[in-house]
Structure formats: structure tokens, C-alpha cells
A = this chain, B = another copy of it.
Amino acid sequence: MVNQVQKVDGSWQSCKSDSSGASNSGESSRESSRCSTPGPDADRADRLREKMRRRIESGDPWFSLEFFPPRTSSGAVNLISRFDRMGFGGPLFIDITWHPAGDPGSDKETSSMMIASTAVNYCGLESILHLTCCNQTKENITAHLSKAKRLGLKNIMALRGDPLGDSWEEEEGGFSYATDLVKHIRCEFDDYFDICVAGYPTGHPEADGYHADLKHLKEKVDAGADFVITQLFFRAETFLSFVKDCRAIGITCPILPGVFPIQGYQSLRQLVKLSKLEVPKEIMEVIEPIKDNDAAIRNYGIQQAVEMCKVLLDSGVVPGLHFFTLNREVATIQVLRQLGLWIEDPRRPLPWAISAHPKRKVEDVRPIFWASRPKSYIYRTQDWDEFPNGRWGNSSSPAFGELNDYYLFYLKSKCSKDALLQMWGEELTSEESVFEVFTNYITAQANLSGHKVMCLPWNDDPLAPETNLLKDELEKVNRRGILTINSQPNINGKPSSDPIVGWGPPGGYVFQKAYLEFFTSSENVTALLKVLRKYEPRVNYHIVNVQGKNLTNAHDMQPNAVTWGIFPGREIIQPTVVDPVSFMYWKDEAFALWIEQWAKLYEEESPSRMIIQYIHDNYYLVNLVDNDFPLDNCLWQVIDDMFDLLDAPPEPLQ
């Protein structure tokens, strides 16, 4: 792509010249909308309507996913895991319906507001929050919108909503139509939100006919809506003629078809009843005979949806497909796979999961300590006004929020107490039985009672592929009481496309310094400190106990960059640092996890609990960095030397 650069109003601007090949430019645009890239990145900073515009320009169709808020707290934990899993497929956005009966704007972990906030902040998903206006006061609506903005939500689906009960009653000082809500959002929040409105391909059930309803849609768009998502429909031609009619009356914004893969007989009947739609005869004729065969209906639903979507995509007027998931994964993913739209892109824009909060769009460096607990890191830094961009050293005095409530729902373990006890031991008999839990976690082998250790208090997931590179060494040291909770191998310039350690845009090179973080006994630490003298200045260390006694050889408390990447035409990115100041905040959290997540599984005063308590009270948390990244990682040698020293016979008195 050849850019022509011109001075405009005293600043230099770049614009594509004619010599840029169309296909080439398409590809590069596709690149950037798929993988948000580090640094001051246009796509990461873009608002949703801009992302859509770029995907439309490059002819790159997208998909999006609709979810409804869960009813229970454990439902919320499950839904958030589903967000993470379905996020891998690359949705352009998700949306969360507004559930008037479920206190949707509240701080409850199951509210529409909190679920949407979690999706944005903790799962890094571009999200749309639905908002209905009927039966609500203006003040209420403004309060919801202000809260949404504060939480980092940037997109609203403006709906009228269904009246509570049978009769329609206008709220005093409220709104009767979605158009009023759109106007209100634009009036009160200017251009802050991207606004979506609903379209009805077969007409709104309460409107005076199809054409009257089209007019209402035009009014909603004219009032400031950015794009349209339609109600579900069963025939591609229904949608295509609707779009044609919309264009004819001057609706020019994107119109996204709402796709409903039939997943079961009951859910179909229920939805049809709610939406007052008629299921076409040819569909009912297939379904009725197999209505008791869930698998058969689902298969049919997938096939029917795939065929309809193909027609939609081939029409050339559909930029993206919107799926009503019913909070289920299988059918939607199947349809997307068959359409070739589900693309699990192993590329990571940064080594850690990015938050989608607009305040964090420039964030590109974090302390390594929270590598396995990114949601906790995001939670504890949610009140920061600025995020470090490029240098951690700039954020001179990071103030981490307290993490007193270990039961914050998005930090909850996916495992039940029983499952945890099976993995970590119903009864601990010694420190060694704790060593064994750590070792079994590393080896992914079943423990004596036949259960695999799939997580630890510091790691909610099995070992990362990258950590697997160190598996043999980790097993060896954990067996002897070097209880590792975080580590990375050294990397000396692997391609950024490397499936295990790569991240960032293509064509770059990634680097790492070897890192090892573990709990260990004070006896071990005494020997370790002697050994570490031999490794000056190659190895930096920070060693701290729960009381905060801290030993380090780091000069003037500067951060140490341990992961960095070099990319074509960009500044250096150094996304993870070992920061001595943040380490003191992390150690509080790391030590507390012994008690909150593990000790409390056991009765007070029980031997098991006292063993964990003893470790908490007496062990040290150690981190080691091998600065000589081009050489072989020396940290294992450091540990070996420590054991050799411990094993050596005491020196004779002179």
C-alpha cells in the first residue's frame, strides 16, 4: 500500500493513493480488524460503527452473538466462561438483553448491566447493552446510561420493550417509543454511545402494518441510530426484501439479520409465541414429526440456518450475521463453522488478555505477577485513570485496589468445593502432601485418589502451553518444595506468529527473559541467597514473606521488562514487566489465596488447615529473572545449586 502524505492544517496526514491495489488494501484492513494490534492501534481504539465500516469496506463479513442474563450466580460464572470460549471464535460483538424482571440495572452479579460490564472489562468483548424504555422514568433511564458509561460500555440497543402485564401504560414522564429513547440518548450523551435499533422484517406485531413499521424504523435511524439488528425470521427472502424496502425509503445504515438456529421444539414454540411470528409451513412439516427427538431437531435447525445464512451472505447486502444463541454454544458454533466464519485465531495481540474498557485502550504493559489472574488484575486496577502505555516506569506509584472479597463472582473458581477437595486433598498430612498437589498439577497426572489436579488457587486453568515447555524442570523442583506459581521460558527472537509463544502483529519477533516465581521454606531461602551471590548481576531476585520482609538485589526499584516484541514499522512493545513495587501488592494477594481458597476448605483447627496456615505464615514468595535471555536459562541451575548446598555436609568448624 502506497500512502500519500500531505500537510493538512499544519499536521501530517496520510491518505491512500490510487496506486494502492484494492485487494492488498482489503487484506491489510482485514488483518487489523481481526487481530487487534498493540501500540496505539486504530482498531483497538475504534468504536463499533467504525469497526463495522472497515469490515464492510474490506468485504469481510462478521458475526455477533446475543445472550440473556443468567438467573443464578453459578449461572453467571458459567456464562462468563462461555463468553471466554465463544470469544475465541472472533465475534465482532456480543449483546446482552435487558431483563426488566431481573433488576437489570443493578449491581447484582446476574443483572444485565453487570453481565455486560463483565463481558467488556474482564472478557475483552465489544458489547452492546440492551435498554428498554417502557415503564421507566427518564431519570431512571439516564441513570442507567450514566452507569453504563462509567462501567466502560459504549453501545446501547435502544428498545421500547414489552409492557409489564397485559395492558400498555405510558409511564409519567417516560417514553412510549424506541425513537424517543434514541433521541434521549443523543440529547443527554451526545455521540458517546453507538446506538442500535431493532428492525422487524415482517413488521412489528403492534404496528399498523408493514409500511407503517418501516416508517418507524426510519424515524429511529433519523433520530441517531447507527445500525439495525432485525428480529428473527425464517426465510432469507423475508430479510432481503425488507432491506430493499429500507433502502428505498432512505435507511442507509448497516442492517444485520437476526438468525435463530432452531435448537428444540419447546424453545421454538416459546420464541414464536413471544415474538408473535409464524413458523413457515415447510419448517413445521419437518419438525412436527421429530418433535421428541432433540438431536434431530437441532441438526435440522443447524442445516436450515446454514442454508439461509449462505443465501444472505451471497446476496451481497448482508455485512454480518447476528445470532440468537439462547445462551447455548453448540448449534451457533456449528452454523458458524459450516459458514467458515468461526475462526479461532491463535494469534494474541498481546501476551495477556486485553480489556475492552475504553480507558484501557492504550494499556500495553502489565506486571507479570497477575499472568494467571488477569481478571483480578483488571478488578484491582479498575479505578486507575490512566494506564501505562509503553513504559511501566511512568506509572510511578501504582495504587492497587484491595481484593478483600475473594468471592467476587468473576473471580470464583469454576470448581465446586468438593471438586477442589478431591484435587487438593481431603486431608493433608504434611508439607510434602502440598508439594505433591503442586507436582500433580504440573504433570497433569491423577493423584492417589484418582483425580487430576486441574487448577491451583493461583491458576484457575491447566498449565499453559508455554509453561509446558518447562514441564520436566518444574516437576523436579515442585517435588522438592519449590512451589511454582508462575514461570516463563527465555525466548530469543521467535517469530510473532509462533503458535506457543507468539503474539502481536505478523512479521515481528518476540523475546522473553526466563522467569520463575514460587513459594518455598525459609531454610531454602537461606541457601538460595548464598547461591544467588554467584549469579550477580545476571539474576535479579525479589524474596518476600507474608509480613513483608523483602530481600532484593534490584537497583533503585526499577521495573524489569521480561517480555517484549519488535514489529515492522512500530515502536517496541514490552507487555510484561517484573515491577518491584507491584510485587508487594501481589504478594498480599498471593499469600491470601493460600487461606481464602485452600485453608478454608478444611475445618478450623484441623491438621490440614494448620498445614496450609503454617506455609502461609512461614514460606517466602520468590521471583527470579535471568537477564541473559540469549543464553540457556540459568534459573534451574540456581535451584540445583541451592539443593546441592542444602545437601552438602555441614562445614567442619575451624
Contacts and interface: CB of A to CB of B under 8 A. Distances in A.
A468 B127 CA distance: 56
Contact of A557 (B12, B529, B555, B561): B12
B574 A558 contact: no
Nearest to A625: B569
B2 A552 contact: yes
Given A571-B560, A581-B12, A550 B4 contact: yes
Interface in A4-55: 4-7, 11-14, 17, 28, 39-40, 42
A390 interface: yes
Contacts of A550: 4-6
B566 A540 contact: no
A438 to B, nearest CB: 27
B7 A548 contact: yes
Contact of A391 (B42, B389, B553, B584): B389
A4 to B, nearest CB: 7
B574 A571 contact: yes
A555 to B, nearest CB: 6
A511 interface: yes
A5 B509 contact: no
Given A492-B493, A564-B572, A572-B572, A1 B558 contact: no
Nearest to A579: B571
A540 B508 CA distance: 13
B552 A627 contact: no
Nearest to A557: B14
A270 interface: no
Contacts of A529: 2
A517 to B, nearest CB: 16
A572 B569 contact: no
Contacts of A316: none
A40 B393 CA distance: 8
A570 interface: yes
A180 to B, nearest CB: 39
Given A580-B12, A627-B507, A569 B555 contact: yes
Contacts of A557: 5, 12-14
Contacts of A567: 627
A392 interface: yes
A203 interface: no
A3 interface: yes
Interface in A365-399: 389-394, 397
B394 A552 contact: no
Contacts of A13: 557
Interface string A611-634: 000000000000001011110000
Contacts of A6: 548, 550
Contact of A5 (B12, B552, B628): B552
A393 B538 contact: no
A493 B3 CA distance: 32
A572 B571 CA distance: 11
A568 B492 contact: no
A135 to B, nearest CB: 46
A30 B59 CA distance: 62
A572 B580 contact: no
A554 interface: yes
Nearest to A42: B556
A279 B255 CA distance: 98
A552 B569 CA distance: 11
Q: Which of A392, A567, A571 has the most CB of B within 10 A?
A: A571
A268 interface: no
B393 A554 contact: no
Nearest to A581: B12
Given A493-B493, A556-B14, A561-B566, A571 B392 contact: yes
21 contacts: A2-B529, A4-B551, A5-B550, A5-B552, A6-B548, A6-B550, A11-B581, A17-B551, A390-B393, A390-B394, A391-B391, A493-B630, A507-B538, A509-B630, A555-B569, A558-B570, A558-B571, A561-B571, A561-B572, A564-B572, A568-B627
Lowest 8 A-B CB distances belong to which pairs? Answer: A390-B391, A568-B627, A5-B550, A572-B574, A560-B569, A561-B572, A540-B569, A561-B571
Given A507-B628, A540-B568, A560-B568, 5 more contacts: A3-B552, A7-B548, A392-B571, A507-B538, A558-B570
